[in-house]
Structure 1
Amino acid sequence: MQATRTSPHTESPVAPPPPLSLQTRMVLLSYFAYFFYYFTRKHLSVATGSLVNEGFSLETIGYVNSAYAVCYAIGQFLSGALGDRSGPRIALCAGMCLSGISTLAFGLFPFVAVLAIGFTANGLFQATGWPNTCKLITSWVSDARRGRVMGFWLSCYIIGSMAATAFSGYLLKEYGWKEIFLVNGVVVTVIGIIQGLFLINRPEDRGYTFETSVAAAETAAEKKHGFLVMLKNPSVLFLGLSYFGLKYTRYTLFAWLPFYLEKVVGLTKDAPAHVSNGFEAGGVLGLILGGYFADRFFPRNRCRLALLALVGMIVAVYIYRFASSGLDIAGNVAGLAAIGFFLYIADSIISGTAAQDLGGTGSTASACGIINGIGSLGQILAGIVPVKLSQWYGWNSVFISFIVFGVISCLAVFPVARRKRLIEA
């Protein structure tokens, strides 16, 4: 039996750590929360080709994507600060339900104004996801086990993205583009309600703790000023700038890859949706291997691996831009998988584990929100810049922009990667 610990200051008993079964439940709930966020995030990219065929302007869809990204960026800062202060349960429940309703609205009322208002507001609702799920993980998993748990947990946004694309592709093929919005909207709303019913903000809410009472008090003080502290941290800002370039590439591929594969490569029906999943499939492999190599060779500063992965991504994009139009389906899947392999290694470190290391238990949501918020400025550009580049100079220029933004990401992460330790002892 575990001995009861006491604080040297209060001499009162300290609560035991939460049982493994409860920790596992919270990890899985947060995993499936962010997994299903993608069902009302990836749906528009799959439906874009059909919407254009129905008479919706490609430029209008591009502006809608950019407006969504503006709200998403603003929401990251707000969600990060509020998540550290009030807890993630209500934010996740409300965010998912509102995201589902805004998606459902366009399926019921398929007008340009409804798309513009609903999908733009969806950016705010989607922004509740990342900072608050990361906050849950840091609250419910001890420091000693967090690296291994995150290796599993971070797959949620890759597998969720793949599942969302495949599911929307299936709905498009079997039923039509309206059902993409109707069904995904209902699914995400239901999952949001489940989160509100069963999530627990932190172990202390059920009488458990990982810390002594003294450490808990220190965390509370950090939590009070966490957002401002993180906002002044140079490493957080550098990682945010690096994520800016990375997110431009990632969200351009999210928004326009199925359309590119249909119009430029020449794939038909549901093939663009399924082939585009090669990007995320490579990301799953990169996440698994990247997590192993990060712990094995870069335990003190995983940003060094992120820098190497960014260089690999640039090389993969350079090769794919010349070959994509002449490749068969398997070749396109392989090329996109190579890009995803390197991109997601860097992505998971910069926005996930490095942000958690810098934020600590009390300021994780703030650190994640700031890095993701700055990064989302690149997501704003991904809405309309690729459209303009493709119209003016062709799709080859879009891939050149990936290389340019990749170089920006490398330069930004370099000062952080140079540090011997990401967190000073």
Structure 2
Amino acid sequence: MERDYSGLKKEERAQWEFWDKDYNRWRNQVFIILWITYGAFYLCRVNFSIAIPGIMKEFGWSKTQLGAIGTALFWAYAAGQFIHGQFAERFSSKHYLFTVIILSALMNFLMGPIAAVGIFLMGVVWTLNGFFQAGGWSNCIKTLSQWFPPKARGKRMGYYGACYQVGNTLSWLLAGSVIASYGWRAGFWIPALIFAVIGFLPLLFLKNRPEEVNLPPIEVYERYGEFSGMTIEQIKATIKPKTEKEEHAGFAFTLKQTVGNPRVWAVSWAFFFVDIIRYGFLLWAPTYLFEVQKAAIDKTAYKVVAIPLFGIAGAIFSGWASDKFFQSRRAPISALLMGALGFLAIFFYYGVPKDAWLLGFIVLGLIGFCVLGTQVILIGAVPMDFGTRKAAGSAAGFIDFFGYIGAGMAGVFSGVLTDAWGWGAAFWFWIIAAFLSSAICFGLWSYKPPPGKYL
């Protein structure tokens, strides 16, 4: 950040330059650690789908039975998002992350031996895994909000959103590789071992807030509001000792910033519809390509991978564009991307010929660009802006709760609609969801959270 120090005394200038250098270093370190940490959560989340064929072969359990276990993780994750979001504000994020990582890894270690006891207990263990997995996102968002001001959150969250696309892809590859070589049980305990080791990254190297490394709070450093005219000595007085816990704003404050904020509800419903189309395409696009477009399995996989690949670019673009063109307002870019997504889905269903491999790849990629570009804005930058650093984790948990309700509905309703009325019904389910999300975001076009005490 470029600052004008021309009017300051030599000692004051030296102090500000020191803070600038340290803030920049710690911001980068915190960002990288949280990027790796959250990407690693997928090691112990997506491995179940890769292990299903081996489990079915050994125990003879049906797709319906194992599908119910997969769905249980969704619902546990949704409930966990809201619960963890509220409690994340009260506890140290580095310790919270370490705890839920170790517990999630433990659940994965148990999946192999518990299968011999029965499918019900396996379902219980995987449900608990979903609950512990839900403790990751809200704590990451809470910590990022402590370090980055609103004017930088869009761009940073764009880059941050790439972590779970990369993590998802690498986790699939790892699970597939170890299961092929060592059996389905290895698909749980090997990722769990890696995940547990990565859990020590935040525990040892993450800083929850600037004061922990003798830096001023973000409002003071950014000279925000009442802090704009403070002297060096006054600023130093705001830096709490490392041993002193950050003051919790209270559940009344966090609930007011989330449940009591109509615009957070609006964003939550917009995100509900985003995840319907996101998981609709992620879950059902391969089957559609295989059944309707008669694509071979290998070409189907190559096409579908366009969604996360283009999605990384979409996440980076949407975060940058919201800061660059819309003065850090998040709704405009979300409205435009979801509107474009609706038309792209229409074109993909009605306008892409069966043999147009490259065109199908590009259109699917653009769908991924739009849906994941919107997703990272609504679940990343918006909770930090609306909740402020004092309730960002709570807002993220509340919004993501709605998203995973939509994700669960995408799997069930898309299948029901396809069985009853064909693929056209499922596509229009997704298309309508895209336009509804766009409409909600258009309604928030000019809104920007008013200045408050906290950034």
Match of 1:81 in 2: 86
CA deviations on 1:4-60 (whole Å, 9 max, x unpaired) are: 999xxxxxxxx9574433332221111111111122222234445666677443333
Separation in structure 2 between the aligned mates of residue 2 and residue 43 of structure 1, nearest angstrom: 55
User: SS state of the match for residue 86, structure 1?
Assistant: coil
Unaligned runs of at least 5 residues, structure 1: 7-14
Match of 1:308 in 2: 336
- Decide whether aligned partners of structure 1 residues 69 and 302 sit closer, same or farther in structure 2, where only a CA change above 3 A counts: same
Match of 1:12 in 2: none
- Decide whether aligned partners of structure 1 residues 215 and 384 sit closer, same or farther in structure 2, where only a CA change above 3 A counts: farther
| Worse-matched range after superposition: 136-145 or 262-271 | 262-271
| Worse-matched range after superposition: 174-183 or 393-402 | 174-183
Q: CA offset at residue 364 of structure 1?
A: 0.9
Q: CA offset at residue 244 of structure 1?
A: 0.7
Match of 1:128 in 2: 135
Match of 2:102 among 88, 97, 121: 97
Separation in structure 2 between the aligned mates of residue 101 and residue 289 of structure 1, nearest angstrom: 37
User: SS state of the match for residue 85, structure 1?
Assistant: coil
TM value normalised by structure 2: 0.79
Separation in structure 2 between the aligned mates of residue 198 and residue 214 of structure 1, nearest angstrom: 23
Separation in structure 2 between the aligned mates of residue 176 and residue 119 of structure 1, nearest angstrom: 19
Match of 1:402 in 2: 430
* Aligned residue identity for 1:184: P
Match of 2:28 in 1: 24
Work out the percentage of aligned pairs sharing the same amino acid: 24
CA deviations on 1:284-332 (whole Å, 9 max, x unpaired) are: 1212222332222212422111011111111222222346792476454
Separation in structure 1 between the aligned mates of residue 119 and residue 361 of structure 2, nearest angstrom: 33
Q: CA offset at residue 131 of structure 1?
A: 0.8
Residue 341, structure 1, aligned to residue 346, structure 2: no
- Decide whether aligned partners of structure 1 residues 221 and 90 sit closer, same or farther in structure 2, where only a CA change above 3 A counts: closer
Match of 2:254 in 1: 227
* Aligned residue identity for 2:407: Q
Q: Kindly indicate whether the alpha-carbon contact (under 8 Å) linking 2:270 and 2:437 is maintained by their aligned counterparts in 1.
A: yes
Aligned length: 415
Q: Kindly indicate whether the alpha-carbon contact (under 8 Å) linking 1:105 and 1:114 is maintained by their aligned counterparts in 2.
A: no
Q: CA offset at residue 142 of structure 1?
A: 4.5
Match of 2:167 in 1: 160
Q: Kindly indicate whether the alpha-carbon contact (under 8 Å) linking 2:279 and 2:407 is maintained by their aligned counterparts in 1.
A: yes
- Decide whether aligned partners of structure 1 residues 189 and 262 sit closer, same or farther in structure 2, where only a CA change above 3 A counts: farther
- Decide whether aligned partners of structure 1 residues 266 and 168 sit closer, same or farther in structure 2, where only a CA change above 3 A counts: farther
Residue 3, structure 1, aligned to residue 12, structure 2: yes
User: SS state of the match for residue 326, structure 1?
Assistant: coil
Residue 59, structure 1, aligned to residue 87, structure 2: no
Match of 1:205 in 2: 212
* Aligned residue identity for 1:243: F
Separation in structure 1 between the aligned mates of residue 173 and residue 49 of structure 2, nearest angstrom: 12
Match of 2:37 among 26, 33, 39: 33
Match of 2:77 among 55, 72, 77: 72
Separation in structure 2 between the aligned mates of residue 260 and residue 118 of structure 1, nearest angstrom: 32
Match of 2:403 in 1: 375
Bigger Rg, which one: 2
Higher relative contact order (CA 8 A, sep 6+): 1
Q: CA offset at residue 265 of structure 1?
A: 5.6
CA deviations on 1:234-256 (whole Å, 9 max, x unpaired) are: 11110001111111222344445
| Worse-matched range after superposition: 289-298 or 28-37 | 289-298
CA deviations on 1:68-106 (whole Å, 9 max, x unpaired) are: 222111111111111111121122112222222223333
Match of 2:278 among 235, 245, 250: 250
Q: CA offset at residue 183 of structure 1?
A: 2.6
- Decide whether aligned partners of structure 1 residues 397 and 310 sit closer, same or farther in structure 2, where only a CA change above 3 A counts: same
Separation in structure 1 between the aligned mates of residue 176 and residue 296 of structure 2, nearest angstrom: 12
TM value normalised by structure 1: 0.85
User: SS state of the match for residue 90, structure 2?
Assistant: helix
| Worse-matched range after superposition: 323-332 or 396-405 | 323-332
* Aligned residue identity for 1:233: N
User: SS state of the match for residue 292, structure 1?
Assistant: helix
Match of 2:264 among 211, 226, 236: 236
* Aligned residue identity for 2:73: Y
Separation in structure 2 between the aligned mates of residue 274 and residue 207 of structure 1, nearest angstrom: 49
Q: Kindly indicate whether the alpha-carbon contact (under 8 Å) linking 1:72 and 1:127 is maintained by their aligned counterparts in 2.
A: yes
Q: CA offset at residue 165 of structure 1?
A: 3.0
Q: Kindly indicate whether the alpha-carbon contact (under 8 Å) linking 2:151 and 2:323 is maintained by their aligned counterparts in 1.
A: no
CA deviations on 1:389-414 (whole Å, 9 max, x unpaired) are: 34333444332221132233223333
* Aligned residue identity for 2:40: F
- Superposed, 1:316-395 pairs within 5 Å as 316-322=344-350, 326-327=354-355, 330-395=358-423
Q: Kindly indicate whether the alpha-carbon contact (under 8 Å) linking 1:324 and 1:332 is maintained by their aligned counterparts in 2.
A: yes
User: SS state of the match for residue 76, structure 2?
Assistant: helix
Separation in structure 1 between the aligned mates of residue 345 and residue 425 of structure 2, nearest angstrom: 12
Separation in structure 2 between the aligned mates of residue 313 and residue 154 of structure 1, nearest angstrom: 19
Q: Kindly indicate whether the alpha-carbon contact (under 8 Å) linking 1:169 and 1:274 is maintained by their aligned counterparts in 2.
A: no
Q: Give the aligned CA root-mean-square deviation in angstroms.
A: 3.3
Separation in structure 1 between the aligned mates of residue 55 and residue 390 of structure 2, nearest angstrom: 44
CA deviations on 1:219-243 (whole Å, 9 max, x unpaired) are: 9474564321121011111000111
- Decide whether aligned partners of structure 1 residues 293 and 20 sit closer, same or farther in structure 2, where only a CA change above 3 A counts: closer
Separation in structure 1 between the aligned mates of residue 23 and residue 103 of structure 2, nearest angstrom: 33
User: SS state of the match for residue 382, structure 1?
Assistant: helix
* Aligned residue identity for 2:34: S
